Amino acid sequence: MKKPVVKVDFVDESPKNGKFKSRRRFIKLGGLAFAGSSFLMYSCSEDDDFNPAGEGPDPEPEPEEPEEPEEPEEPAAFDLGSGDVGILNYAFALEQLEAAFYGAVRGGSYYSGAPDNEKAVIDALYNHEVIHREFFRTAITAAVGDGNEDMVLPDLEFNLDSVDLSSRQEVLETALLLENTGVGAYNGAGDRLETTDYLVIAGKIVSVEARHAAAVYELLNPDSGIAAEETIDENGLDDANDPSTVIEAAGGFITTEFTATQLPEPMTS
Amino acid sequence: MSIIKMLDGFSSENLMKKKSSRREMFNTLGSFGKKAAAAAVPFGLATNKAKAAAFFQEGTSPVEALQFALLLERLENQFYLMALESGVLDGRPARAEQVFMDISAHESAHVDFLVANLTDAGVDVSAEPTFDFTAGGTFDPFNTNGNADASYAQLLALAQAFEDTGVRAYKGQAPNLMNTPYLEPALQIHSVEARHASAIRRIRGTQGWITGNGDNAMAPNVQAAMDAYEMVYAGEGVTTQGGVDLTTLDYSGPSGNDAIVGDMTEAITQAFDEPLGMEDVNMIASLFIAADDSEDSDN
């Protein structure tokens, strides 16, 4: 099952996460290069105990139990936070994942043997995601203000062992999955943002992710049209996904524990 | 959020099938079958009318934004219908026609969606202007002059300009839709337009994303077209986002090993698409609205 062609395992320099480096068990779902999340906790309104696999070594307390004070010796996992900062951190997490993925792809044998036009696509996607990642790091740091740097999502660790980086099909399918996940995430997050400028910036990024998705789709399906029937409905509307759905889709690659318990609800009256 | 769920409830499983056979429908219906076809695709959107109407009474800006979006969608919709009828795509790569058919289905759905939402909100939908995709005789995208290769090139060039403009236009209107149930569907249309733009650009042999002020946009070698492209891509080349000068950031990342491949400034401009205001977009759209009809676009 596991094909550790390459291991993306960043050294986490953040002392905050020093205790969350333990590898978790990954599962491969339905042939997709994809792992189940057992360590992300998502809580918004309707999904208070979102924990898809629920079999990690550190199970959550029983939902019925009343709030318990945190055990002092165990530092809390990073929480994405509330309000706009929470959404920005959420986007930052996705951009970190995408950047890490394309960085790993560029070190793999599919890439090294790929034709120039495919290399050019991978290079561009890598560039764009790295730029998005560093933009969010800088923008969130500025948004939280001096002395609040601990509100900025730290560098996450990833495990991409489930993707065979020598396989064109697996690499491109995973790329498409990540790009479509990004599109659905940004589309679903737009109406949770309070600040106009952040909404516009999210819009500037999501259309680039959609451009990526279309390019990768074409590489996978050179004779098809736009199709992407998985994501575009009969009204001609792309996906708009809630954070719980997105975190479930992307979380399998993320080994750093974090929580999303305070993300804002959509602000559509 | 709820509007989507409600709309989903009204979606017909046969809808895409109908739309995918659109071209055959038009061959049957003749060149002005668009309205008939629209009527043949029942699209009742019994949304939360009370809520929507209440919202629309509070201000006109979101309505203007949606009417504006409708103008662009109608322009695109008409363009793709005429393109598919024109035969200009015959004998071209199969992918080109397939992409045009898919886009046509999406644009048609967008028109229906916007009309239904505006109507359900009690808004008078503005009249559809008469489009002139020759821009007063400058272009011949549907090959009425017998130069098939030039028409095919212009058809793709116009499609790209419309899609990239559409992406910019929706992005520009997003702030006007904040705190309304229409923001999310507008974003959902916005990203579909971006998929279209990428696909068309790649058929033309250029990248799916925009470099600089459209430096990679492959403007047709006609002065009027180059001028139009300049308008379409003006301002895309910015390198500062949210007050952050992206040319000054350290991109080495957590591993210390990341580095931008190739030209960093180009990559930065590609990584962010820029919005375009209503006035600028209307200037672009007005090139393709028949002169005696242009007033309708301002409603």
Q: Can you give the pLDDT at residue A8?
A: 34
Distance (Å, whole) CA A250 – CA A92: 13
pLDDT, mean of residues B195-210? 97
Q: CB distance from B254 to chain A under 8 Å?
A: yes
Q: What is the pTM of this model?
A: 0.79
pLDDT, mean of residues B89-111? 96
Chain-chain contact of A207 with B99 (C-beta, under 8 angstroms): no
Residue B151, classified by CB atoms within 10 Å of its CB into exposed (0-12), middle (13-18) or buried (19+), is buried
Name residues 172-231 of chain B within 8 A of A (Cβ): 174-175, 178-181, 183-185, 187-199, 202, 207-209
Of A120, A127, A235, the CB nearest to B11: A235
Distance (Å, whole) CA A139 – CA A131: 12
Q: Can you give the pLDDT at residue A249?
A: 84
| B11's tokens | 């979606």
Of A142, A190, A225, the CB nearest to B174: A190
> Is residue B193 pLDDT above 80, yes or no?
yes
Q: Can you give the pLDDT at residue B65?
A: 94
pLDDT, mean of residues B75-102? 96
On the CB side of A20, how many CA atoms lie within 13 Å of its CA? Answer: 27
Domain boundaries, given as residue ranges, for chain A: 1-59, 78-259
> Which chain A residues touch B194 with a CB distance below 8 Å?
206-208, 210-211, 214
> Which chain B residues touch A222 with a CB distance below 8 Å?
95
> Which chain A residues touch B61 with a CB distance below 8 Å?
none
- What residues form DSSP beta bridges with B289? B131
> Which chain B residues touch A132 with a CB distance below 8 Å?
271
Chain-chain contact of B187 with A13 (C-beta, under 8 angstroms): no
| A194's tokens | 């309070």
Backbone angles phi, psi at B37, to 5 degrees: -65, -40
Q: For chain A, how many residues are written?
A: 269
Q: CB distance from B65 to chain A under 8 Å?
A: no
Q: Can you give the pLDDT at residue B38?
A: 29
Chain A nearest CA to B103, separation (Å):
7
Which residues make Cβ contacts (< 8 Å) with residue A33, sequence separation at least 6? A162, A163, A164, A170, A173, A174
Chain-chain contact of B275 with A209 (C-beta, under 8 angstroms): no
* 3-state helix/strand/coil string of B204-251: CCCCCCCCCCCCCCCCCCCHHHHHHHHHHHCCCCCCEECCEEHHHCCC
Q: Can you give the pLDDT at residue A29?
A: 25
Chain B nearest CA to A159, separation (Å):
14
Q: Can you give the pLDDT at residue B100?
A: 97
Hey, which bits of B16-64 come out as E strands?
A: none
Answer whether A171's CB lies under 8 Å from A108's CB: yes
Q: Edge-to-edge strands of the sheet including A78-79?
A: A41-42, A258-260, A78-79
Alpha-carbon dihedral angle through residues B170, B175, B178, B184, given to the nearest 10 degrees: 20
Q: For chain B, how many residues are written?
A: 299
> Is residue B13 pLDDT above 60, yes or no?
no
Of A148-162, B41-55, B70-84, B103-117, where does mean pLDDT reach its minimum? B41-55
Chain-chain contact of B178 with A222 (C-beta, under 8 angstroms): no
Taking the alpha carbons of B248, B274, B232, B162 in that order, is the dihedral positive or negative? positive
Chain-chain contact of A211 with B174 (C-beta, under 8 angstroms): no
Chain-chain contact of B271 with A128 (C-beta, under 8 angstroms): yes
Please, what is the angle between helix A196-220 and helix B264-271, to 10°?
Answer: 100
Higher pLDDT, B81 or B53: B81
Superfamily name with CATH number, domain A78-259 = Ferritin, core subunit, four-helix bundle (1.20.1260.10)
- What residues form DSSP beta bridges with A28? A35
Share of chain B above pLDDT 90, in %: 73
Cβ atoms < 10 Å from Cβ of B1: 15
Of B3, B199, B246, the CB nearest to A214: B199
Helix or strand or coil: residue A41?
Answer: strand
On the CB side of A129, how many CA atoms lie within 13 Å of its CA? Answer: 29
DSSP B109-135: HHHHHHHHHHHHTTPPPPPPPPB-TTT
Q: Can you give the pLDDT at residue B17?
A: 32
CA separation, residue A23 to residues A2, A81, B124 (Å): 14, 24, 59
CA separation, residue B266 to residues A67, A128, B141, B247 (Å): 51, 10, 31, 10
Tell me which amino acid residue B131 is.
F
Taking the alpha carbons of A125, A127, A130, A134 in that order, is the dihedral positive or negative? negative
Which residue in B has a C-alpha nearest to residue A240's C-alpha?
B188
On the CB side of A97, how many CA atoms lie within 13 Å of its CA? Answer: 26
Which residues make Cβ contacts (< 8 Å) with residue B17, sequence separation at least 6? none
> Which chain B residues touch A236 with a CB distance below 8 Å?
105-110, 113, 189, 192
Answer whether B150's CB lies under 8 Å from B141's CB: no
Q: Can you give the pLDDT at residue A54?
A: 39
Alpha-carbon dihedral angle through residues B201, B207, B212, B217, given to the nearest 10 degrees: -30
Which residue in A has a C-alpha nearest to residue B263's C-alpha?
A127
Q: Can you give the pLDDT at residue A34?
A: 32
Chain-chain contact of A235 with B241 (C-beta, under 8 angstroms): no
Residues of chain A with pLDDT under 70: 1-75, 227-229, 269
Q: Can you give the pLDDT at residue A226?
A: 87
| A101's tokens | 């993925």
Q: CB distance from B6 to chain A under 8 Å?
A: no
> Is residue B192 pLDDT above 90, yes or no?
yes
Q: What is the pLDDT of residues B28-63, one digit of tens each?
A: 222 222 322 222 222 222 233 333 333 333 334 799
Q: Can you give the pLDDT at residue A230?
A: 72
Distance (Å, whole) CA A187 – CA A206: 7
Q: Is B136 left (phi over 0), alpha (psi -120 to 50) or beta?
A: left
- Chain centroid to Cα B204, Å, comes to 17
Chain A nearest CA to B258, separation (Å):
7
Which residue in B has a C-alpha nearest to residue A227's C-alpha?
B102
Distance (Å, whole) CA A117 – CA B208: 12
Helix or strand or coil: residue A42?
Answer: strand
